[in-house]
Amino acid sequence: MADRATQIVNFYESTLASSLIGASGTGTTLSQAPTTDGSSTISATLGDEDTWYYLVVAPDTAGSREVIVVKASSGTTITNVGRDIEGRYTSTALPEHTSGTIVRMAVVAQHIDDQNDRVAGILTEGQAAIDSITSSAATAMMEGATDGTAITVDNANDYILVYDNDTTTAKQVNLVQLPQESTKLSLSGGTMTGAIVGAELTDYVETDVSLSSTSGEVAIDLANGNTGSLTLTENVTDIDFTNVPASGVSSFTLKITQDASSAYTVAINAITVNGGGDVTAKTAGAGGFEMTATLSAEDLLFFLFYGANTPYLTAQQEMS
């Protein structure tokens, strides 16, 4: 997909007006314009990454259902449309959608793909740090070492030599093979920093942090992991995040399981970030969030932080 933030609202449904989307058409007219909060029309301008949105045409008709992406629109007129985003009609002609056909905005896989691609793009920003280990800047004093332990890099042999710098001869040498060029990290003051760029991750596992609430409060420490699970035993009135990075983009995925015997609620208007004051998580169209009341239901909450600011929240509810 693309490094793009696409729009999604809690609910929007309309129909095609007098125009239709033909087999090769890229524009049409809607009966009602898509809105962000029930009243504010979405303004989509070609090339603006924050204003594209997806619509499902004929969502209840399996034979002609089609997911499209709207790249430009003005009121009820959409003038730049990407057809058949799912690739459903690669071997057959695109369907024709006549006037009166239902169009609906719904969460589709492309929303998640766009968000994942946007986060993945952040990984490339550490490229400058990758090549920062050079022979001229390789020697660094380790923090807290009383005898002045030092490190030098043998670039010719791709090894790090660790020794006490109270002599010019290494009394103790540990050979540590360097990572590949694309994954080198920089060393400064005893702390490794940097980023892995262009790596292909397979068979990896994220730490699933087991969470609980006390007197309605849930404490989430990003230093322990970026994925957590919570089974409700009471109403959650306060969510406190700590160790959220002050810069860059970070995220936390929270699976909440409704209690098996009593339906509890989850509030998102008393969230604290790194000990700051209470804030309300930002949701699409300021629609908020309401925990699924179905007993034992599972909701997935995705918190996205730009720096340590108020988090953005999207949710997939009543997963089964």
CA atoms of 110 and 86, how far apart (whole Å): 9
Judge residue 120's burial from the number of C-beta atoms within 10 Å of its C-beta, 0-12 exposed, 13-18 middle, 19 or more buried: exposed
Which tokens sit at 74? 């003005």
Single out the residue of 249, 284, 247, 244 nearest to residue 268, CA to CA: 284
Q: At 111, is the secondary structure helix, strand, or coil?
A: helix
pLDDT tens-digit readout, 189-229: 555 555 666 667 788 888 899 999 999 999 999 999 999 99
Q: Which of 248, 133, 125 shows the shortest CA–CA distance to 198? A: 125
By three-state DSSP, how is residue 101 classified?
Answer: coil
22-27, long-range: CB within 8 Å, 24+ apart, which pairs? 22/96, 23/93, 23/94, 23/95, 23/96, 24/94, 25/81, 26/79, 26/80, 26/81, 26/83, 27/77, 27/78, 27/79, 27/80, 27/81
Parts of the chain with a pLDDT under 70: 1-6, 18-20, 22, 36-40, 43-51, 110-111, 113-199
Strand partners, 254: 228, 301
- State residue 121's pLDDT score: 59
Q: Which residues contact residue 278 at a Cβ distance below 8 angstroms, ignoring those fewer than 6 apart?
A: 238, 269, 270, 271, 272
Distance CA 173, CA 13 (A): 69
Q: DSSP string of 189-203?
A: TTEEE----S----S
What is the model's pLDDT at position 253?
97
Dist CA 72 CA 79 (whole Å): 6
pLDDT value, residue 74: 83
pLDDT value, residue 174: 43
Q: Which of 280, 286, 281, 276 lies closest to 308, judged by CA? A: 276
pLDDT of 154? 56
Q: What is the spatial distance between Cα 134 and Cα 137, in angstroms, rounded to a whole number?
A: 5
Cα angle at 63 between 61 and 67, to 5 degrees? 70
Taking residue 196's Cβ as centre, other Cβ atoms within 10 Å add up to 15
pLDDT score recorded for residue 274: 96
Give the span between the Cα atoms of 255 and 173, in whole angstroms: 47
Is the separation of the CB atoms in 55 and 68 below 8 Å? yes
User: How confident is the model at residue 160, as a pLDDT?
Assistant: 56
pLDDT, one tens digit per residue, over 250-293 is 999 999 999 999 999 999 999 999 999 999 999 999 999 999 99
User: Residue 161, Cβ neighbours under 10 Å: how many?
Assistant: 18
Domain boundaries along the sequence of the chain: 12-108, 131-193, 208-319
pTM of the model: 0.43
Q: Give whole-number Cα distances, 228 to 88, 182, 241, 249, 257, in Å.
A: 35, 31, 12, 18, 11
